[in-house]
Amino acid sequence: MSTLAVLPLQHPLILLPASRITIPVKKELGQQLASLIQESEAQPVLAAVPIVNADSAQGEAPVLNEWGCVARITRLVRPSALNPSETYLVTLHGITRVRLARPLKLTSNAPEFMPYHPVEYGSTSQKEGQVPTREAIDAFKRSSLRLLEKLGHDSGKGSRRDAWAKFSSMVEDISDQRAGWLADVMVGSIISEYADRLEFLSECDPEERLKRATALFIKQTSITEVAKKIAHAVDESVSKQQKEFFLRQQMAAIQRELNALNNSRSNLGAGVGSDSDSGSASELDDDEAANADDMADIRRKIEAMEPGSEERKMSVREWRRLKRIPQGSVENGVIRSYLEWLTSLPWPSETSPATTSAESLETLRDRSFLTRAREQLDNDHYGLEKIKRRLIEYLAVVRLRQLAAEAENAKMKAQEEKALVLAKDAAKQDASTKAPSLPKPVARPPKANPVKGPILLFVGPPGTGKTSLGQSIARALNRPFQRISLGGVRDEAEIRGHRRTYVASGPGAIVQALRKAGRSDPVLLLDEIDKLGQNNFHGDPGAALLEVLDPEQNHSFVDHYLNVPVDLSQALFICTANSLDTISQPLLDRCEIITLSGYTYDEKIHIARRFLLPKQLRANGLDASQVDLTDDALLCVATNYTREAGVRSLERAIGSVVRYKAVDWAEHADGANGKTPERYNPKVVADDLEAILGLARWDGDEREREERRGVVYGLVVMGAGEGGVMPVESIAVPGSGHLKLTGSLGEVIKESGELALSWVKTHAYALGVTESTREDPLRVPEAIDIHLHLPAGAQKKDGPSAGIAMTCAFVSLLTGATVPPHIAMTGEITLRGKVTPVGGIKEKVLGAHRAQITKVILPYANRKDVEQDVAKEIRKEMEFCFVRTVEEALEAAFGKGKLGWRLKALPLLESRL
């Protein structure tokens, strides 16, 4: 009997001989173990005895097993210095069984220290040294080999399987004396049942131990078998579910087919449009039937595609992929929507290879086509004579080219057919002599030359009828009309589509429009191309448009999403823009510019009467007898409420008036508030407008214009292409002879200001501002700065056309003479005092007319613009002064003799220059 330190092992830990465990121990215990290690020379041993009652963790006194295991402490890991409260880790290696010589009673805090206790080694008993009987060893070997084989089989490939195989070879080779030891090793590593292990620990007779191990292994083998069987059963039930799902899917497909068959039968029986059966079908079945119908539709469309064409090849490829991919998967949805897009485009088909539709061809062939087109334009738009004339020319060209292309097409087709007949004859002759040759692939039939008509670009302020002219052209040509809004398009993909790899990708605006049009020859209106985003990291949307608009390239336009060339050569493109400034040069080069500059009041009244009022009456459910808008009232709306180049706000205002009258009429008709239908007054006069539309926005605007020193009125064209009047204000402030320019001015307009001041300084003596030619009017008699400002500072302004207005402003400021507020001017000046022509005359004159300016000063070279572009009524109503020099401009602005010229001074100055 000897004494050993007893280490109680927490429930359910057990250490068997020949096994190893690593367990955490508390600080006190760790320290005790550490001192044990320090005291002993070799690796110290202790008795690891399991605590058998599971409740000891909850504070009950622990009960130790009678048997334990002598263990060698092979390793002790101390907690780190940084965190000393951590537990120790001790690794024990079981050596042999040990029995407590007498029961050891522990207090509840037992695991915190190791008592020394007398023990008896199992090996000292006589039984331990005995060799087990042959039968026991054979039974043990058999059972362990069987178990190991099962474990190896179930663990699949890898290191575990190898470990079991190693065990097997050990079992086979083990000597009879060592069989007990092997039983310990195997039970330690295979058996996990606590009670079994505890019992096994108490068995010190090798014979008995082998028998017990045999029993345990047999039990384990059957457990493994049962577990496998259960797993297999679960597996089977899952695959059964899958099978059931698959069969259900098939059943649904069969059901759909039967439904389709029934539907077609009932349609045949009851005639098309009958829905006698539909009541009995469930909504849920409808969905499936619709799905099947869609697929059939896609299939039909693919079959109708021209054989051998790119689109057909692509569709067939995708269709096959679609069939392979299970329904309901994401990929299936992606392919399906792609196929839906691809098949919904108007591709040339086997039956109609020519891309221009029969209806539009018929319209073009009609001899009265141009007369009808003219009628159509007249019916839709008032005035715009020049533009209509240009559009008729355009339509004539489109017609001629299209007809010529058709003729060419017919000729090519005839040739092709002839060649085909010849080839067939030759094949017949060949067949009689040789083996039949393979059929040749069908090539795309000959195609009409693309119609390369000019691309029209309508430029003008909002509401001048650009979009509606495009619609009229489409109506005249009997083609579908589609509008593609490009305002704010920054991403090339919006025009060309996103590649299919993107989530939620789709085709671009062009392909979408083509699908909506349903024909390959629509009129496509590219609206607001001046608002197209510039080149950025999303690509260049303008560049994509260039390809669309280029007749040389657009017969094979590739949308990123479809990835199949689309023929756009039959489509007619019309662009619209408010101004040309932001349109890129290459894009402008492709277009023929048609300018719509706005309407005179007279034209507006006509447009309102003929088009806008009837349209609004229709929209609001009234007829002409219920609203009588007098000319005065219309003019008042146009002048005081909606001062614009176009007629959009006018239309809106008329809409408000009509709605007001609609309410009024309804009240009278219903007899509300003592009103009767007889007392209803349809007339709307100018005085009623304030009650309907509120206070006039522009009323008295002219009165605010004042005749002041240093202020003159210039003419401008604003961003949206609208002409108007802008004051040029200047004041003198104490300073040192500098010029300050404000109002968000660009480089050119700033230079123009400096130019004007230089001219004025040079002519200061002649104008009587200074007493000698050497004096600087900004320094003598007092040193001043001139501050010139153009209001609406938030709006960017540029261009040279404010030259004469600025000169007049400086002259007015320095001389004290003033320019009357009914005069406005535009014109560029040179350093030598010449007035050179400027653009936008029509818009500016119309703007001046709207602002009730009665006299405009313009460069002489712009005379022809006024004569050609400005309506007669306006020319009659306004006075035009065409000037060649600044002196003439000053005289026109200030009035004859108002400025005290020292005439003799001029030649002197000239010669000095």
Ligand X SMILES: Nc1ncnc2c1ncn2[C@@H]1O[C@H](COP(=O)(O)OP(=O)(O)OP(=O)(O)O)[C@@H](O)[C@H]1O
Smallest distance from ligand X to CB 636, Å: 19
Establish if 381 lies at the interface with ligand X (CB under 6 A): yes
Tokens encoding 259:
């439904």
Establish if 464 lies at the interface with ligand X (CB under 6 A): yes
Smallest distance from ligand X to CB 375, Å: 14
Residue among 463 and 777 whose Cβ is closer to ligand X: 463
Task: Please identify which residue in 467, 626, 642, 815 interacts with ligand X, judged by CB under 6 A.
Answer: 467
Give per-residue burial for 365-402: e unless 16+ CB within 10 Å, then b: eeeebeebbbebbeebbbbbeebbeebbebbeebbebb
How far is the C-alpha of 48 from the C-alpha of 70, rounded, in Å? 6
Residue among 219 and 615 whose Cβ is closer to ligand X: 615
Please indicate whether residue 844 is annotated as part of the active site.
yes
Any known ligand binding at 800? no
Smallest distance from ligand X to CB 387, Å: 9
Any known ligand binding at 466? yes
Q: What is the CA radius of gyration of the chain?
A: 50
How far is the C-alpha of 665 from the C-alpha of 256, rounded, in Å? 57
Establish if 383 lies at the interface with ligand X (CB under 6 A): yes
Establish if 384 lies at the interface with ligand X (CB under 6 A): yes
Tokens encoding 844:
């500016």
Establish if 468 lies at the interface with ligand X (CB under 6 A): yes
How far, in Å, are 71, 667, 739, 836, 898 from residue 764 at the CA level? 119, 70, 16, 22, 15
Residue among 384 and 456 whose Cβ is closer to ligand X: 384
Q: Minimal CB distance to ligand X: which residue?
A: 465
How far is the C-alpha of 695 from the C-alpha of 691, rounded, in Å? 8
Any known ligand binding at 308? no
User: Exposed (0-12), middle (13-18) or buried (19+): which is 357, by Cβ within 10 Å?
Assistant: buried
Instruction: Give, for 249, the enclosing helix (H) or strand (E).
Output: helix 206-270
Establish if 35 lies at the interface with ligand X (CB under 6 A): no
Question: Active-site residue among 211, 447, 761, 844?
Answer: 844
Establish if 600 lies at the interface with ligand X (CB under 6 A): no
Establish if 569 lies at the interface with ligand X (CB under 6 A): no
Establish if 168 lies at the interface with ligand X (CB under 6 A): no
Tokens encoding 220:
């384990």
Establish if 579 lies at the interface with ligand X (CB under 6 A): no
- Residue whose pair of structure tokens reads 């575990």 in the numeric block: 160
Stretch of residues binding ligand X (CB under 6 A), selected from 26-34, 128-136, 464-472, 764-772:
464-472
Smallest distance from ligand X to CB 485, Å: 9
Other beta carbons within 10 angstroms of residue 305's beta carbon come to 21
Instruction: Give, for 742, the enclosing helix (H) or strand (E).
Output: strand 739-742
Of residues 109 through 138, those in contact with ligand X by CB under 6 A are none
Residue among 287 and 592 whose Cβ is closer to ligand X: 592
| Interaction mask 421-460, ligand X, x per CB under 6 A | ---------------------------------------x
Establish if 661 lies at the interface with ligand X (CB under 6 A): no
Any known ligand binding at 460? yes
The SS3 call for residue 885 is: strand
Strand 723-734, strand 711-717: pairing = antiparallel
Any known ligand binding at 467? yes
Establish if 7 lies at the interface with ligand X (CB under 6 A): no
Residue among 545 and 596 whose Cβ is closer to ligand X: 596
Residue among 119 and 384 whose Cβ is closer to ligand X: 384
The SS3 call for residue 477 is: helix
Establish if 475 lies at the interface with ligand X (CB under 6 A): no
Establish if 565 lies at the interface with ligand X (CB under 6 A): no
Smallest distance from ligand X to CB 474, Å: 13
| Interaction mask 178-207, ligand X, x per CB under 6 A | ------------------------------
Establish if 647 lies at the interface with ligand X (CB under 6 A): yes
Tokens encoding 906:
């001029």
How far is the C-alpha of 871 from the C-alpha of 604, rounded, in Å? 13
How far, in Å, are 417, 432, 435 from residue 428 at the CA level? 17, 7, 11
Those residues whose C-beta lies under 8 Å from the C-beta of residue 686, and which sit 6 or more positions away, are 630, 632, 633, 635, 636
| Torsional sign, CA 284, 287, 290, 292 | negative
Establish if 3 lies at the interface with ligand X (CB under 6 A): no
Smallest distance from ligand X to CB 650, Å: 8
For 791-794, the CB contacts below 8 A with 24+ separation are 791/726, 791/727, 791/729, 791/743, 792/726, 792/743, 793/742, 793/743, 793/744, 794/744
Establish if 463 lies at the interface with ligand X (CB under 6 A): yes
Residue among 206 and 840 whose Cβ is closer to ligand X: 840
- Count of residues touching ligand X (by CB under 6 A): 20
Residue among 465 and 508 whose Cβ is closer to ligand X: 465
Nearest to 839 by CA among 893, 795, 800, 886: 800
Task: Please identify which residue in 648, 659, 675, 789 interacts with ligand X, judged by CB under 6 A.
Answer: 648
How far, in Å, are 147, 715, 824, 851, 860 from residue 878 at the CA level? 115, 14, 11, 12, 16
Contact criterion met (CB below 8 Å) for 308 and 444: yes
Task: Please identify which residue in 164, 217, 382, 713 interacts with ligand X, judged by CB under 6 A.
Answer: 382
Contact criterion met (CB below 8 Å) for 97 and 122: yes
Q: How many CA atoms lie within 13 A of 131 on its CB side?
A: 8
First to last CA, the chain: 135
Residue among 110 and 577 whose Cβ is closer to ligand X: 577
Establish if 769 lies at the interface with ligand X (CB under 6 A): no
Residue among 646 and 777 whose Cβ is closer to ligand X: 646
Tokens encoding 178:
């060592």
Smallest distance from ligand X to CB 386, Å: 12
Any known ligand binding at 124? no
Residue among 4 and 575 whose Cβ is closer to ligand X: 575
The SS3 call for residue 64 is: strand
Nearest to 135 by CA among 211, 209, 200, 219: 211
Smallest distance from ligand X to CB 385, Å: 10
Amino acid of residue 358: A
Question: Active-site residue among 56, 801, 812, 842?
Answer: 801
| Interaction mask 607-646, ligand X, x per CB under 6 A | x---x----------------------------------x
Tokens encoding 541:
């949307």
Smallest distance from ligand X to CB 875, Å: 20
How far is the C-alpha of 429 from the C-alpha of 356, rounded, in Å? 38
Establish if 465 lies at the interface with ligand X (CB under 6 A): yes
Establish if 462 lies at the interface with ligand X (CB under 6 A): yes
Establish if 560 lies at the interface with ligand X (CB under 6 A): no
Any known ligand binding at 542? no
Residue among 513 and 883 whose Cβ is closer to ligand X: 513
Smallest distance from ligand X to CB 578, Å: 6
How far, in Å, are 298, 329, 352, 574 from residue 357 at the CA level? 22, 39, 9, 20
Smallest distance from ligand X to CB 462, Å: 3
Establish if 833 lies at the interface with ligand X (CB under 6 A): no
Smallest distance from ligand X to CB 646, Å: 6
Establish if 651 lies at the interface with ligand X (CB under 6 A): yes
**Active site residues per annotation:** 801, 844
Residues that bind ligand X (CB under 6 A): 381-384, 460, 462-468, 576, 578, 607, 611, 646-648, 651
Annotated binding-site ranges for ATP: 460-467
Annotated binding-site ranges: 460-467
